[in-house]
A and B are shown apart, each in its own frame.
Chain A
């Protein structure tokens, strides 16, 4: 029934969104690409010479890049492991008949709504501080030496904080998926004498695979860009031991004002994110058809 008239109108209604996103994506991205090929430091006035791939060479051969690349890898995989395993466990538990299920759900979900700077500072000071933190009090009470989390294991501490923030998301998505599981199938398995483990591995886990993939990909997109948690806890240190790629580019760009180097880093980050994004788009694209 759509007339040509409404088709034209429909196009006009799309325009603002398309133009805005295009302007946000294409214009700055082209500028970043351009900056990445010139020698440009905000502190050094004067000529912006074309230097070819020199910025990339410096960025990619910098030991700090390797360290932050692996830190990013550990951060993403560490948080994914904790949140997926914890999320599956929580989803199964919350799917059972329990008293006060709504209250439990609310408590589990709560950390997701806490702003990153608050959760990082609360964990850093009130829980993980080696002198006044709750964990330190607890360790002393048990007769152990308190751990200086951010000095001894900075990256691991950040992994814990970020996992706490993302566990609710994984649990909620997986719970939604588990609730769509066909109960008759489980009952049939019961009749056939299947134990809890075989039910989990042959029925529940395969049913969850799609949701797990979605959680992995969505979390990865966000986890690649972790920034605030690092800024307020360790500032990337000691040394580069808790610097991820996002934080490294931030320091190069806005603390050292190295526009060229920071831009080359930005393009590298875009390429890494694209590799993840391609898989995510495939997954969601399939869902659009189905």
Chain B
């Protein structure tokens, strides 16, 4: 009797959950489907979810008629470059805060967090003018720098929470055996912390791939990553839904896949450890 009841409630919950999550996912599904339609079908008044002539024409058009690959490459360079550079800077800082704690450590962590809360418009004009004067406007290097700095607090925080979970005794044992700090970090700490470092890297690639304030403001035709390139589809009205969908699909699918791997770390990274 109770087993039957619980099966029935499971069924009801399952139907509800699939319906709601299907609605939430629908705009993405619709984009993916539309990217395989012809432009005429894309705006048809009786739209179809699967029954239409599937075509790859839009992908070919987007790739051949616009420097799509350039923008894709810009996104790759900017997000991966800034994440790797960020790791290089954040790992030593997080190591030092996690294993050589002083009274100031907590204040320093909080201060780093506070820089993340500075609204970008508070520094918009100086950054724009400095970039202009140093010829960094519309360059990949400029954006790598900006992305590194704005994501640095999240990186340090995430790494710090991972490093804190490593028992200090392991490091002390290696010190007893006469390991130098360098050896300690590279041979003892990094192998243990590798999963944490990998997920920090992953989350940062995702965040910089999708960042859409500085990319829109600091880039033009040259260094524009996909966020800025897709924005250029906002001006012409009319028959371009299928191409917009194809361009969008190529921009979001890689990150959707990465994102599904990093869902647990996402909670930790974005809540700065407030929720684990």
Do A and B belong to a common assembly?
yes
Chain A residues at the B interface, C-beta cutoff of 8 Å: 1-2, 6-7, 9-11, 13-14, 16-18, 20-21, 24-25, 27-29, 31-32, 35, 90, 93-94, 96-101, 104-119, 121-127, 132, 134, 137, 140, 164, 167-169, 172-173, 176-177, 210-211, 214, 218, 221, 224-225, 227-228, 231-233, 245-246, 249-250, 253-254, 259, 262-263, 265-267, 269-270, 272-274, 276-277, 280-281, 283-285, 287-288
Query: With A113-B256, A137-B47 as given contacts, are A249 and B124 in contact (CB-CB < 8 Å)?
Result: yes
Q: 9 nearest interchain CB pairs?
A: A13-B92, A228-B212, A113-B259, A28-B123, A10-B96, A31-B126, A10-B100, A28-B126, A107-B25
By the criterion CB–CB under 8 Å, are B100 and A285 in contact? no
13 CB contacts below 8 A, A to B, read A24-B149, A122-B31, A176-B275, A227-B216, A246-B120, A246-B121, A250-B121, A253-B121, A253-B125, A262-B125, A263-B125, A270-B119, A284-B272
Not counting A17-B93, A21-B152, A172-B263, a sample of 14 additional A-B residue pairs whose C-beta atoms are within 8 angstroms of each other reads A20-B89, A20-B148, A93-B20, A107-B22, A113-B206, A113-B252, A115-B227, A115-B255, A121-B233, A125-B244, A132-B241, A211-B275, A231-B216, A284-B110
Find chain A residues with CB under 8 A from B152 CB: 17, 20-21
Chain B residues touching A, majority SS: helix
Give the interface centre of A1, A25, A105, A173 by most chain B CB atoms within 10 Å.
Answer: A25
B117 interface residue per 8 A CB criterion:
yes
By the criterion CB–CB under 8 Å, are B275 and A270 in contact? no
By the criterion CB–CB under 8 Å, are A127 and B267 in contact? no
Binds A, one of B11-19, B62-70, B191-199: B11-19
User: Which residues 1-57 of B sit at the A interface, judged by CB distance below 8 A?
Assistant: 6, 9-10, 13-14, 16-18, 20-22, 24-25, 27-28, 30-31, 34, 42-43, 45-47
Chain B residues at the A interface, C-beta cutoff of 8 Å: 6, 9-10, 13-14, 16-18, 20-22, 24-25, 27-28, 30-31, 34, 42-43, 45-47, 89-90, 92-93, 95-97, 99-100, 102, 106, 108-130, 148-150, 152-153, 156, 172, 175, 181, 206, 209-210, 212-213, 216-217, 226-228, 230-231, 233-234, 241, 244-245, 248, 251-252, 255-256, 258-260, 263, 266-267, 270-276
CA gap between A176 and B216 in the complex, in Å? 33
By the criterion CB–CB under 8 Å, are A110 and B25 in contact? yes
Find chain B residues with CB under 8 A from A164 CB: 24, 27
Q: Which residue of chain A has its CB nearest to the CB of B7?
A: A97
Contact residue among B93, B109, B122 (Cβ-Cβ distance under 8 Å from A288):
B109
Query: With A14-B92, A16-B92, A16-B93 as given contacts, are A117 and B17 in contact (CB-CB < 8 Å)?
Result: no
Query: With A13-B92, A25-B118 as given contacts, are A99 and B10 in contact (CB-CB < 8 Å)?
Result: yes
Query: With A13-B96, A172-B263, A173-B275 as given contacts, are A118 and B126 in contact (CB-CB < 8 Å)?
Result: no
Find chain B residues with CB under 8 A from A246 CB: 119-121
By the criterion CB–CB under 8 Å, are A121 and B96 in contact? no
Contact residue among B30, B95, B150, B267 (Cβ-Cβ distance under 8 Å from A173):
B267
By the criterion CB–CB under 8 Å, are B259 and A115 in contact? no
By the criterion CB–CB under 8 Å, are A218 and B270 in contact? yes
Query: With A94-B17, A125-B241, A176-B275 as given contacts, are A114 and B110 in contact (CB-CB < 8 Å)?
Result: no
Query: With A249-B124, A265-B121 as given contacts, are A20 and B149 in contact (CB-CB < 8 Å)?
Result: yes
CA gap between A249 and B273 in the complex, in Å? 32
Find chain A residues with CB under 8 A from B251 CB: 115, 118
Nearest Cβ in chain B — how far from A17, in angstroms? 4
CA gap between A230 and B123 in the complex, in Å? 20
Find chain A residues with CB under 8 A from B244 CB: 121-122, 125-126
By the criterion CB–CB under 8 Å, are A29 and B123 in contact? yes
Nearest Cβ in chain A — how far from B160, in angstroms? 10
Contact residue among A17, A117, A140, A177 (Cβ-Cβ distance under 8 Å from B230):
A117
By the criterion CB–CB under 8 Å, are B121 and A249 in contact? yes
Find chain B residues with CB under 8 A from A270 CB: 118-119, 122
